[in-house]
Amino acid sequence: MIARHRVPKTPLSNFVNMLWYYDEDYPRVHAKERILPGGTVEIVINLKEDIGRFYDKGDTSKCFTHRGTLIAGVLTEYAVIDTEEQMSVMGINFKPGGAFPFFNLPLSELQDLHLSLDELWGSSANTLRERLIEAPTVDAKFDLLEAVLTGRMTAFDHHPAVQFALAEMGRRHSQSVANLVDKIGLSSRRFIQLFSQQVGLTPKLFCRVLRFQQVVKGIGGTGDVELADVALNCGYFDQAHFIHDFKAFSGISPTEYLSKRTIHLNHVPLED
């Protein structure tokens, strides 16, 4: 197994959390996985075959296919993917709000969507995949991704209101939108519009996803966990609120997540 990542150089590092590469030469024990909402946009490139498969959450026998280079918008609920496609794959994990300089549309239009990247980048997306396959080393693949992203940048900073809000939310996930608006000085409507366009979710929903991710990190891993303590530490006002929110994003209870967790915190094996 090869698992590598790279933090790109500036100015890309202002928008991209990391470039990643994963190659595994043995089959997984489960065929499908839940992907949990993480608050970010992701580009995923299947280097093994030119296809991406997603499944209907209500009936996982129904499959939807895309090209092997795809973009995943910011999720507000889990998605079901084909585990076999994770055998040889690489991608771009954007920071929250980090994808907007690379796409000529409001990121809110991508919410909960998985699209073939050529729908947004044209044939160059498919050419990118072919060049990545031909690149002789992992570092050469990372170099190519950095070069392509650098060439596609159309902005070098967020709107000041969005930048301020992201910093505040990063420090405290239970931020009140009204409090942020008071500090920023824009109307609530204008602030929500700007934030949704550049981040992909409304400020309130984005804060909920951040808090959900705080929970996932708190109960992930292999150690013993007290769910009541995690709920309290993450700002839920009672256990029912905590469980309801967790199920809304993941489709399962915190207890079920604990029974299925792996080292990949946002990937949950799905029983056939």
pLDDT digits (tens, 9 = 90+) for 16-40: 999 999 998 766 667 899 999 999 9
Nearest to 118 by CA among 67, 45, 63: 67
The verdict on 27 and 139 lying in the same domain is yes
- At residue 173, the pLDDT reads 65
- At residue 27, the pLDDT reads 61
**What is the DSSP secondary-structure string of 135-183?**
-SSHHHHHHHHHHHHHHH---SS--HHHHHHHHHHHH-TT--HHHHHHH
Boundary residue ending a domain (152, 168, 197): 152
Boundary residue ending a domain (152, 168, 184): 152
The verdict on 45 and 138 lying in the same domain is yes
| Mean pLDDT calculated for residue range 142-147 | 98
| Mean pLDDT calculated for residue range 163-167 | 93
The verdict on 189 and 133 lying in the same domain is no
What H or E segment, with its residue span, contains residue 269?
Answer: strand 267-270
Q: How far apart are the first and last CA of the chain?
A: 25
Which CATH number is 197's domain given?
A: 1.10.10.60
What H or E segment, with its residue span, contains residue 228?
Answer: helix 227-233
In single-letter form, the type of residue at position 4 comes to: R
| Mean pLDDT calculated for residue range 138-163 | 94
pLDDT digits (tens, 9 = 90+) for 87-123: 899 999 999 999 999 998 999 999 999 999 999 999 9
pLDDT(223) > 80:
no
The verdict on 143 and 209 lying in the same domain is no
pLDDT(78) > 80:
yes
Boundary residue ending a domain (100, 131, 152): 152
Mean pLDDT of the chain: 91
- Looking at the 3D structure of the chain, how many domains does it have? 2
Instruction: In whole angstroms, give the CA distance from residue 130 to residue 98.
Output: 25
- At residue 153, the pLDDT reads 93
The verdict on 36 and 142 lying in the same domain is yes
pLDDT(170) > 90:
no
- At residue 26, the pLDDT reads 61
**Bigger pLDDT: 131 or 225?**
131
Percent of the chain surpassing pLDDT 90: 66
Distances (CA, A) of 31 to 80, 172, 224, 271: 10, 37, 27, 8
pLDDT(256) > 70:
yes
The verdict on 190 and 241 lying in the same domain is yes
What H or E segment, with its residue span, contains residue 199?
Answer: helix 188-199
The verdict on 109 and 242 lying in the same domain is no
pLDDT(222) > 80:
no
